[in-house]
Amino acid sequence: MLMHACIDLGSNSFHLLIGEWQEGRLTIIERLSEKVQLGENIGGTGNISQQAYQRGMACLHRFKLLMRQYPLEKYWALGTNTFRIAENSEDFVKAAKKIGINISIISGVQEAILIYAGVISALPVSDSHRLVIDIGGGSTEVIVGEKHHRLLTESLPIGSVAWRDRFFQAASFSHSHLSSQMEKGVEEARSLFMPISSGVKRASWSEAYASSGTTKMLASICQEHGYGNKRITLEALTELKDKMADFVATGKELPGLKERRRDLLLPGWCIVTGLMEAFGVSELKFSHTALREGMLDFLVKNEKTIKTLQSGDLPAVSFAKH
């Protein structure tokens, strides 16, 4: 019996996944996610704020306590976009090491590789070309692949926390103001996705999947409004635009939305809408697996070394201490 833990340190949320590998099968034993928002206002300051730093450390303490309850052999803790761009990220990494958690910072391409591995791990084997999207708090990863072969791998500096800080921090929250900001946000998102649009289209994908909390939120809202189960359509996003702006402006309830994600609703709408328009995507299917499942998949299948398929080595894993 082999038990491993994977820690995904995102710009919005921290995630812990503990799995057991036995007789060629992987079973998820424990999941824990916390909204840390490590990347809040980092676009303006260039640093992890003191408040976010403290939230992150408190979360890692809780993760460590939970990990101690299991006979873990190895764990893998990876930092993503905020760690890549924050000037003080190494201070956070050093503080985490004192807690007993060794963090490795991965590139956007390495992140995309693991996300793709996580998404396809839950899908049936197919010869189809699949488009995989992951919209995080600070970056968006775009991959097109066939089985385990990737045809396109991209990471772009656009995420829901960054878009919130950029377009939805004004004191005025009137419906007209929010609607105007949504237009600006989607236009800017579309312009960032357009440079890789031709490459995405040339890959001739036939199925499109989206992972992460942002797309889970939007898929849930679309479902509650009768647009289909666990999927996002461009038609639904267009038709729900005014209702979403009204929800934020007035504080009304919006079926399908959890209150803790209210601040990321409009930025998430901007990014997903801009992406779908740029890539010519009419429908995204929600994937419940993402980076952390990809990490665990790589970890349990590569006991001695963990290597990527076409882009060099990923950081080494750490042995658990009890």
Residue-by-residue pLDDT tens, the chain, 322 positions: 678 999 999 999 999 999 987 776 778 999 999 999 999 999 999 999 999 999 999 999 999 999 999 999 889 999 999 999 999 999 999 999 999 999 999 999 999 999 999 999 999 999 999 999 999 999 999 999 999 899 999 999 999 999 999 999 875 689 999 999 999 999 999 999 999 999 999 999 999 999 999 999 999 999 999 999 999 999 999 999 999 999 999 888 899 998 889 999 999 999 999 999 999 999 999 999 999 999 988 877 765 444 443 344 677 678 776 5
Structure-token pair, residue 3: 């038990």
Domain with CATH 3.30.420.40 in the chain: 2-109+291-319
Amino acid identity of 15? H
Alpha helices in the chain (DSSP H): 42-45, 50-67, 81-85, 89-99, 108-120, 160-167, 175-193, 197-202, 213-224, 234-250, 265-279, 291-301
pTM of the model: 0.92
Amino acid identity of 132? V
C-beta separation of 119 from 131 below 8 A:
no
Structure-token pair, residue 5: 């833990």
Question: Phi/psi at 276 (nearest 5 deg)?
Answer: -65, -40
Domain 2-109+291-319 falls under CATH 3.40.220.10: no
Question: Phi/psi at 227 (nearest 5 deg)?
Answer: -100, 15
C-beta separation of 268 from 160 below 8 A:
yes
Q: Which has the closest alpha carbon to 291: 112, 137, 147?
A: 112
C-beta separation of 4 from 73 below 8 A:
yes
Domain with CATH 3.30.420.150 in the chain: 123-286
C-beta separation of 83 from 93 below 8 A:
yes
Domain 123-286 falls under CATH 3.30.420.150: yes
C-beta separation of 71 from 20 below 8 A:
no
Strand partners, 77: 7, 103
| Alpha carbon 286 to its chain's center | 12
Length of the chain: 322
